[in-house]
């Protein structure tokens, strides 16, 4: 079924209002539910990016709460099916949904269910790049390399996103740390804080891993898409400590 562009808002409202019933419908196969989840998240992310603000962030929590519940209840086979369904392209909307889904299930695996609020963590994963809504679009859409001044602006998006989630999204800073730290690297060469090793929160490291993986698999104006094995190999080369190995190995286990 095709939906006209002008009816996107109607479809979004329908999915928002009926998502819980759809996911609880026993006659629907898991493949259908996974597609509905993916499309619902994609629609919600697009809406948030078009007009980010406190009201839409708050309204979006219901969709992502249901999504996180669904992901946490999936069997290992179901998780793998959801991962295989993910599409990789240069759209910031698709990237956000992919990181949200992958980050949620990896956080569950890595934390062993010990964190009391995987809903907030999952929501922060979906919105890890929301700070880019405050960056000039000409910089985001530039097909070539950024100038030094443009790169300086781009490097602000984790801090801007953290502020949006904590202030407008009323999110727990402990969960929003995923947004703030998803570009930090163990060797201190990341941004915005140039944090070293254990200074980086485990959630920041989880988000960094899935963000890197999704970015490597997508075709960008400045690089080709890498196959999954090559992407994992490149990420593996950056792992330098036991916690990093543990997170990496759990991620590989999800993909098998």
Selected residue with higher pLDDT from 16 and 95 = 95
The model's pLDDT over 28-45, given as tens digits with 9 standing for 90+, comes to 988 888 888 888 898 888
Judge whether residue 251 has pLDDT over 70: yes
The model's pLDDT over 142-190, given as tens digits with 9 standing for 90+, comes to 888 889 999 999 999 999 999 999 988 888 899 999 999 999 999 999 9
If you search the block for the tokens 């609880």, which residue do you land on? 24
d(CA 132, CA 195): 21
Q: What pLDDT does 252 receive?
A: 93
d(CA 91, CA 73): 28
* CB-CB contact of 171 with 180 (8 Å): no
Residue 97: Cβ-neighbour burial (10 angstroms; 0-12, 13-18, 19+): buried
Q: Does the domain spanning 5-255 belong to CATH 1.10.3210.10? A: yes
In this structure, the chain runs to a length of 256
* CB-CB contact of 208 with 181 (8 Å): yes
Mean pLDDT of 109-138: 85
Reported in sequence order, the residue ranges of 12-113 that DSSP labels E, i.e. its strands, are none
Mean pLDDT of 217-245: 87
Q: At what angle do helices 242-255 and 92-111 cross, to 10 degrees?
A: 110
* CB-CB contact of 96 with 127 (8 Å): yes
Give Cα separations from 216 to 11, 207, 228 (angstroms): 31, 14, 8
Judge whether residue 253 has pLDDT over 60: yes
Judge whether residue 242 has pLDDT over 70: yes
Give Cα separations from 122 to 103, 112, 130, 223 (angstroms): 7, 15, 14, 29
For 187, the 3-state DSSP assignment is strand
Mean pLDDT of 45-70: 81
* CB-CB contact of 100 with 178 (8 Å): no
Judge whether residue 79 has pLDDT over 60: yes
* CB-CB contact of 106 with 247 (8 Å): yes
Cis check: omega of the bond before 187, within 30 degrees of 0: no
Helices (H) and strands (E) in the chain, counts: 13, 0
Judge whether residue 114 has pLDDT over 70: no
User: What does pLDDT average to over the chain?
Assistant: 87
Contacts of 54 (CB under 8 A, 6+ apart): 168, 169, 170
Q: Is the dihedral of CA 75, 76, 78, 83 positive or negative?
A: positive
Instruction: Give the whole-number percent of the chain exceeding pLDDT 70.
Output: 96
Nearest CA-CA partner of 135 in 219, 54, 213, 49: 49
Judge whether residue 206 has pLDDT over 60: yes
Radius of gyration of the chain (CA): 18
């Amino acid at each position: 079924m095709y939906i006209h562009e002008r009816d996107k808002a109607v479809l979004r409202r329908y999915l928002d209002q009926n998502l819980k019933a759809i996911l609880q419908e026993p006659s629907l196969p898991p493949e259908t539910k996974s597609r509905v989840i993916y499309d619902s998240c994609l629609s919600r992310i697009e809406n948030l990016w078009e007009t980010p603000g406190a009201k839409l962030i708050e309204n979006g929590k219901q969709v992502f709460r249901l999504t996180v519940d669904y992901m946490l209840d999936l069997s290992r086979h179901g998780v793998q099916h959801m991962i295989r369904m993910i599409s990789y392209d240069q759209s910031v909307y698709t990237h956000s949904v992919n990181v949200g889904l992958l980050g949620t299930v990896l956080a569950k695996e890595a934390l062993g269910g010990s964190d009391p609020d995987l809903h907030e963590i999952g929501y922060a994963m979906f919105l890890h790049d929301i700070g880019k809504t405050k960056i000039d679009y000409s910089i985001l859409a530039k097909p070539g390399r950024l100038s030094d001044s443009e790169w300086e602006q781009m490097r602000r998006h984790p801090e801007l996103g953290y502020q949006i989630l904590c202030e407008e999204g009323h999110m727990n800073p402990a969960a929003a740390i995923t947004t703030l730290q998803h570009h930090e690297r163990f060797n201190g060469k990341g941004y915005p804080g140039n944090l070293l090793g254990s200074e980086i929160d485990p959630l920041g490291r989880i988000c960094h891993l899935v963000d890197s993986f999704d970015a490597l698999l997508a075709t960008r104006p400045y690089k080709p898409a890498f196959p999954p094995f090559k992407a994992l190999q490149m990420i593996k080369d950056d792992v330098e400590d036991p916690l990093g190995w543990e997170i990496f190995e759990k991620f590989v286990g999800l993909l098998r």
